[in-house]
Amino acid sequence: MRDPDDENSKMSRRAVLTAIAGLAAFPAVGQTGKTEAAGGVDVQLILAVDASGSVSQRRFALQRQGYVDAFRNARVIKAVQSGIAGSIAVTMYQSTGPRLQVLTVPWRRAGDAGSCEALAKAIEDAPRALFGGGTSISGAIDYGMTLFPKCPFPSSRMVIDISGDGANTSGRPVTRARDDAVAQGIVINGLPILAVEDDLDKHYEEEVIGGPGAFMIAARDFESFGEAVARKLVQEISGLALPFRG
């Protein structure tokens, strides 16, 4: 005859072993973050920079310096490190006409002060490659869409950041380019510079930005562009859904 106490003891041991095995299948609280994201980044961020004819060399230099200063900004670096992976992937290109884009900073990872400084230096050292050809925001979006498959750092968030001082004047309708990008899971954010067209922010809001949490921050002029870039990058990298105008 079996001893009930012995049977209960065996059942208890089996239950404990089963529970331990079950727990082993799940990472401990707080361990999922950077382990799961090894090799990946929190966001793939494309920076499309306006190099059209309305952007003088001085204005272009101010625009470029704005990005340089932003990636040296402590708030931006903190935002870069705040995600699960603790890093982002960034690439930059200059854009004018529908098929006039030049890649100036290839994909690179930024995850701490040192790599953010290296990114800032790469942007600073990149010369202006385009000097005219009109403004094609749709062309900039279409070109940006081709770069995501080439990014060596995987991410579930894809963002194209469009900045410029003019509305879409060439190429296909910008709304079609925007809608095609959004259909592929890409978010388009905007940074219109109001130095030439003081209602450009309305064009960006209604026809350029799109996707979940899409937003824009307008810069009054090229001199205030750097401050707007820093604010925008913090919001963009953190993935916060805030009002269109900041």
Bigger pLDDT: 22 vs 211: 211
Instruction: Convert the pLDDT of each residue in 23-57 to its tens digit.
Output: 333 333 333 344 334 589 999 999 999 999 989 99
Place 13 in a pLDDT band, splitting at 50, 70 and 90. Answer: very low
Place 127 in a pLDDT band, splitting at 50, 70 and 90. Answer: very high
pLDDT given at position 240: 54
Q: Strands 44-50, 158-164: parallel, antiparallel or unpaired by DSSP?
A: parallel
User: What is the residue extent of each domain of the chain?
Assistant: 30-238
> Could you tell me the two tokens for 2?
């079996």
Bigger pLDDT: 75 vs 241: 75
Mean pLDDT of the chain: 85
Tokens 């930024």 belong to residue:
110
Place 134 in a pLDDT band, splitting at 50, 70 and 90. Answer: confident
**Superfamily in which the 30-238 domain is placed by CATH:** von Willebrand factor, type A domain (3.40.50.410)
pTM score: 0.82
Instruction: Convert the pLDDT of each residue in 84-110 to its tens digit.
Output: 999 999 999 999 999 999 999 999 999
Per-residue CA distances from 49 to 29, 126, 161, 162 (Å): 41, 12, 9, 7
Q: In what order do the strands lie in the sheet with 88-95?
A: 101-110, 88-95, 44-50, 158-164, 186-192
